[in-house]
Structure 1
């Protein structure tokens, strides 16, 4: 057994003291040097960050691109490990907040180690939002705290592996002590703060009517038998009608106002023809909503209603009938949410009616990435010129290969379109009639997800 005791303020010296009074001292003035050499295993990792880009960019300016990208990759691994060990954390809403929290913590770990500074007095705000989500989904505090311990163990393992890779044997002992000190401080701080936040959220939740309604809605979504008249009394909503489900969420904490999100959902559903609505908050940053109408009538969120407030996104399922339709439309909306969370477009409405194929094909993003690179060949490169070629080719195929229509849509000359199509075929390494259906799907995935599915350098077929 050993204890870590801090030396001079700022971490410029430390002692590793053993139980019998023995000690080993070593300088840590340059302890952050090897952290700045970290680099991720994958490509385009920073593009997968789930935190506001300005927040990530600030840390990049301080410690470099490599360590920050490594932290983003570490966070993904932490979140995947947690949801594998605790499946209750993998549900919609909670899974996204878990990933944000892991990334915020991973970035704070890298910052503390690279800059050789004290751990911040409070954990990152994004690390605590999952507590409210957990309460709303019926996940217990024991699972929340277990996730903190799992994340800690995962981060320690990865950091020690990196220390062994980057440091000579004579320096690893010091690195182990420094890593342990920083991570134990963070995990203890986070566990205490998470417990407080969970208790506060739970106290508010159990006294709300939303808790009773969410319990019943979850039974319906799980396929359990629920009497329609009982559901109508509890929910104030008729499950026998025709439903369109929405999920409305905020991109960041500054926009996290359940009341405002509920207002957006209500406005969209009413504008789409709903005569009845059911809206439930799911944590702080999203709401689930349904709009209903008489059988046969169409209900949906029209894009013509205008863009909601900045930072607010909406996913919509298909109109479906009855109790089964209530659940299936919601499931489609959740699939559209997944696309929306990954999308590199500037759209605010993610309608499953338009994104069904993309949603299905992007369930396994690694497979989608390989598919896109395989089908596009040299068109899977980055940069504005090749992006222009992809946009032109997609428009050309979407308009049934009409040069004139494509030229009008893109506001360029007909000959320009013809040249771009010829150039796109050259880069792809094959004519557009070869595997045309696959080509169109790959172009759609590339347009939606951008660098998440594109290679840094163009590949060949």
Structure 2
């Protein structure tokens, strides 16, 4: 590539790379990959979508940096975030073919973005032609090198995973949360966890902003500590990639709202779902913990935070499903959400009560001055 740019000013390539919105391009690539690659297209699994988008970002950064500095694609290395994504694919049994397919998608979209940036450049047409073609050659070389390395890495990770004690439990859990039919008693026995009782689901993961990456054992330990505070007597923990675990705890006194604050050691984060009963409750509580995790990322919770679903359910819904958020508000408000005269009076009474510092006497005086016949107070 260096020979291609002998007659092209280095600052021109750097200017092209600098003009591209890296985060926006990476997000488009990740979302496109999730939409197009069948095994990644799992609408209920927002974690996989998020991991795919996160994995795209350092690749786009590496491509633009390599192009701008005239690096050889033969020296390209797979970013650590992408290795974690591949480990997750291996642990979930997603085909290795998903990797080169994602890179082909990324190659095409990066190439198009670079060519558009080149066309905006104030430079001779010959220079533009050289830049665009040099970028394409670098992209093809990068994708060939990195995707090949990742396929080899996937095979090693898959072999290690199959031999691990967690693999059977994790694959059973993935089948359950995906809604596939399972034999309740046989699956409970295989998991060593009673699926018929009350559960609270939780997730523990490494803060992606941290340079420190605790071991999987540390994540499992944090999940056990949170489960103990939730008064669970049974615990099921399965890896969901190298930097996250899914867990469920159950028991006669299990709660999703223990006294006192919940926390985990930095740089970990956690989320807790609501109480659910039986197999459906197992799935529902997991989805709530997943929604809490998503909201935790959207609102940039600091390391050590445990997001409880019932503390932030509306925020969680607003980040992904406005219709569901509306239904939640109606269910929680009950009669207050109705468009009736009685409901309007109730709402007015409550507004006055809060504005008067929750003083019954002041609220009564205020409402009486406005409407002596106010019946709802």
Q: What's the TM-score bracket when you normalise by the shorter of the two chains? A: 0.7 to 0.9
Q: Displaced runs of 4+ in structure 1, greater than 6 A?
A: none
The structure-2 alpha-carbon separation of the partners of 1:113 and 1:142, relative to structure 1 and needing over 3 Å to count, comes to same
The structure-2 alpha-carbon separation of the partners of 1:164 and 1:223, relative to structure 1 and needing over 3 Å to count, comes to same
Please, which runs of 5 or more residues in structure 2 have no aligned partner? 326-350, 360-377
Cα drift, residue 359 of structure 1: 1.3
Residues 343-385 of structure 1, C-alpha deviations (whole Å, 9 max, x = no match): 23436111111111111111169xx9xxxxxxxxxxxxxxxxx
Residues 125-152 of structure 1, C-alpha deviations (whole Å, 9 max, x = no match): 2222111100122210011221111111
Q: Does 1:258 align with 2:258?
A: no
Aligned twin of 1:353: 310
Cα distance in 2 for residues equivalent to 1:179 and 1:357: 45
Identify which of 67, 77, 87 aligns with 1:113. 67
Cα drift, residue 402 of structure 1: 5.7
Identify which of 219, 239, 253 aligns with 1:281. 239
Cα distance in 2 for residues equivalent to 1:111 and 1:222: 39
Q: Does 1:71 align with 2:22?
A: yes
SS at match of 2:204: strand
Larger RCO (CA within 8 A; separation ≥ 6): 2
Identify which of 19, 26, 35 aligns with 2:16. 35
Q: Does 1:122 align with 2:80?
A: no
Cα drift, residue 341 of structure 1: 1.9
Cα drift, residue 244 of structure 1: 0.3
Compute the TM-score of the two structures, normalised by the length of structure 2: 0.78
Q: Does 1:14 align with 2:7?
A: no
Cα drift, residue 104 of structure 1: 0.4
Cα distance in 1 for residues equivalent to 2:247 and 2:199: 10
Aligned twin of 1:338: 294
Cα RMSD between the aligned structures? 2.6
Aligned twin of 1:195: 151
Cα distance in 2 for residues equivalent to 1:402 and 1:145: 63
Compute the TM-score of the two structures, normalised by the length of structure 1: 0.65
Q: Does 1:135 align with 2:94?
A: no
Residues 425-446 of structure 1, C-alpha deviations (whole Å, 9 max, x = no match): xxxxxxxxxxxxxxxxxxxxxx
Aligned twin of 1:89: 40
Identify which of 143, 150, 161 aligns with 2:116. 161
The structure-2 alpha-carbon separation of the partners of 1:302 and 1:197, relative to structure 1 and needing over 3 Å to count, comes to farther
Cα drift, residue 167 of structure 1: 4.4
Aligned twin of 2:363: none
SS at match of 2:201: strand
Cα drift, residue 207 of structure 1: 1.3
Cα distance in 2 for residues equivalent to 1:298 and 1:123: 43
Identify which of 159, 168, 186 aligns with 1:230. 186
Identify which of 199, 216, 238 aligns with 1:243. 199
